[in-house]
Amino acid sequence: MSNPTGALRRAVLALAVPAVLCAASLDAQTIRIVDSRGGTGYTDIQPAIAASAPGDIVIVRPGVYIYSPITITRGIQVLADPGVFLTVFSGTFPTMIAIRNLPAGETVVVRGLQARGFRAPCAEIIACQGLVQLEDLTLAGPLIVRNSTVSMTRVAVDGGAAPTAGGPGLTLDGSEAIATACTFRGGFTLGPGPGVECRNGSRLVLAECTAVGVNSALGPEPGIAVAGGRLTLTGTAASSIAASSGGAPAITVSSNPQNRVVIDPGTNLVPSGGLPPVSGPAQFLPIGGLTAAVSGGVLSATLTAPHATLAMLVASAPDRPAPWLEPIDPWIGVHNIVLDVGAIGPGGVRTISLTLPSLPIGTFVALQSFVLEPAGIALSTPLILRVD
């Protein structure tokens, strides 16, 4: 016998998903193609970016783009096919990916680039009032985020991979950020070299991420250093927060009164030299961790929440985070749809697989689960990703 509830849900999704998720697209006006081999009108990325207006999309074909730093200041998407590499071999060694001064209400999406920095940070996001979404990036050199709101999915940063760069893999300064399935590795430097540094009132949520400290001139380094910020951290054995060798905690928390650190007990913390996993004040509380990916038009999502009994997965156009229930803010908007409701399965995991309708290129969505815990309702870690 067919399941009428399932049939009704499929009917609702067929109608609601396009309406809600298409609202998350940038309403693309023009699509520009960049190919270093020629034949498309653009052989370099920056001229295509400069010609684009908010809502436009720049698609980059595979190739090595030598001395091709990019700067983005308006709400566009730069979507690279597999095999796009940005580098420089001489000159002033600029920041390879710079996103600056994005106006409120606009969104930048950068996907699929591999970039190598030298003396400057490999990538920086500065003074962006709109949302910046980074997806499937590989950065050989540090990433700096200052006074901005950023979502990162499957981003790999090696702060020490560039010949003369160094420092934290990710520096979050006065910013809000979520990161899912990312890797941040510090680099040797005269200053601190943790995998992640969260400071100056920043709010950071990490789900299933790896952060690795690298010994600096100051000595061993933690995986994460919190110096005036709020950190919410969840993960499994598939990820880790690890100190460098020689004796350091996995996480250091300064005495700054702005600090608030909440860690899911299942997170894999790896100190060194016999030191404790965390140095400084922190709370260990159960947190639902959400991961998701789209392949072949199918959205696959996994919620890990062994402490909870029920979960409701919600999708919407991405919204700036708003204070609600600590330790995690909602990143989903008011206008949203329910994709799934049900019990947390064996092992504390609930998975769903949803075939998506045909969506415009450049469509992206915020996902977050409400979970029922013994103490009440809480939010899972959020996630933003492209679903076209």
What is the mean pLDDT for each group of 10 consecutive residues in the chain (388 residues)? 41 48 60 90 94 95 90 96 84 83 94 85 94 95 95 93 74 95 85 88 94 86 94 91 94 93 94 96 93 90 93 86 72 86 91 87 88 89 87
User: What is the distance between the terminal CA atoms of the chain, rounded to a whole angstrom?
Assistant: 33
pLDDT at 222 (0 to 100):
95
Domain(s) of CATH 2.60.40.1940: residues in the chain: 289-386
User: Where does the chain hold its CATH 2.160.20 domain(s)?
Assistant: 25-284
According to the model, what pLDDT value does residue 323 have? 63
Instruction: For 88-103, give the DSSP string.
Output: -SSSS---SEEEE-PP
Residue 159 backbone zone (phi > 0: left; psi -120 to 50: alpha; other: beta): alpha
Element (H, E) at 204: strand 196-207
Q: Helix, strand or coil for residue 146?
A: strand
Top CATH class of 289-386 equals: mainly beta
pLDDT at 2: 38
Strand order in the sheet with 349-355: 289-295, 298-304, 349-355
* Cβ-contact 94, 122 below 8 angstroms: no
> Nearest 5°: CA angle at 208, between 207 and 214?
105
User: What's the token pair of residue 76?
Assistant: 């566009």
Distance set, CA 114 to CA 63, 68, 76, 80, 178 (Å)? 11, 12, 18, 9, 20
What whole-number distance in Å separates Cα of residue 230 and Cα of residue 207? 14
Which CATH number describes the domain made up of 25-284? 2.160.20
The string over 96-111, giving b where at least 16 C-beta atoms fall within 10 Å of a residue's C-beta and e elsewhere, is: bbbbeebeeebbbbbb
Q: What is the DSSP letter of 249?
A: -
* Residue matched to tokens 């156009």: 317
Contact 379, 370 (CB under 8 A): yes
The pLDDT value given to residue 190: 61
Please identify which residue in the block is written with the tokens 């492209």.
386
Sign of CA dihedral 179, 180, 186, 187: negative
Specify whether the CB–CB gap between 229 and 199 falls below 8 A: yes
Q: What is the CA radius of gyration of the chain?
A: 21
Say what the pLDDT of residue 359 is.
80
Distance CA 205, CA 224 (A): 12
Tokens of 237: 């054995």
pTM, entire model: 0.89
Phi and psi, residue 124, nearest 5°: -145, 145
Name 144's Cβ contacts closer than 8 Å, sequence gap at least 6.
121, 123, 124, 125, 126, 171, 173
Classify the phi-psi angles of 247: left when phi > 0, otherwise alpha if psi is within -120 to 50, otherwise beta. left
